[in-house]
Amino acid sequence: MLDEVAPKLKTGARMLSVTVRADAKEGDIGTQLGEVAKVHPGTSIGSYPFFDEARGPNTNIVVRARDAATLAAAKAAVTVYGAIRRHGTQKSVLDLMQTRAELYEVLGYLAYEKKLDELFGKASDD
């Protein structure tokens, strides 16, 4: 029966998701996850507590978004936040972070600066 109906159903954009293990109790990270969600509009961030036999109470964080770039940015924020929480520093995730040059390339920043120079560069000394 579902096979007959499924092709007729309207669907929206596909929702992408990724799960990050928090290695923390849900109550210890809820406020911070809310802050991450605020700076990543277009994402939905949920926390799901579970009990790990070896480590005790723990939480999985599920990040959802409709496009891969938005999902990746929010996942990175959650991952880096977790590393800082666990280790007191971001050193363990530096290899995951974007360099300034990579960021400039993604943003097209150098082309933007060049255009600004063309538009507002030094006036000639006539």
Q: Look at the block and give the residue holding tokens 């995730």.
A: 93
> What integer best gives the mean pLDDT of the chain?
87
pLDDT for residue 3:
83
Q: Look at the block and give the residue holding tokens 């596909």.
A: 14
For the chain, residues classed under CATH 3.30.1370 are 7-89
For residue 20, pLDDT beyond 70: yes
- Per-residue pLDDT reduced to its tens digit, 22-31: 999 999 998 8
DSSP-derived 3-state class of residue 98: coil
Confidence of residue 66 (pLDDT cuts 50, 70, 90): very high
What are the Cα distances from residue 61, in Å, to 1, 32, 93, 122?
Answer: 35, 12, 18, 51
Cα(113)–Cα(116) distance, rounded to whole angstroms?
A: 5
pLDDT for residue 12:
81
Q: Among 15-19, 46-50, 97-101, which is the least confidently predicted range?
A: 97-101
For residue 126, pLDDT beyond 50: no
Q: State which fold the 7-89 domain adopts.
A: Ribosomal Protein S8; Chain: A, domain 1 (3.30.1370)
- DSSP secondary structure string, 23-63? SS-HHHHHHHHHHHHHTSTTEEEEEEEEEETTTEEEEEEEE
Q: Can you give the pTM of this predicted structure?
A: 0.68
For residue 1, pLDDT beyond 60: yes
80: left (phi over 0), alpha (psi -120 to 50) or beta: alpha
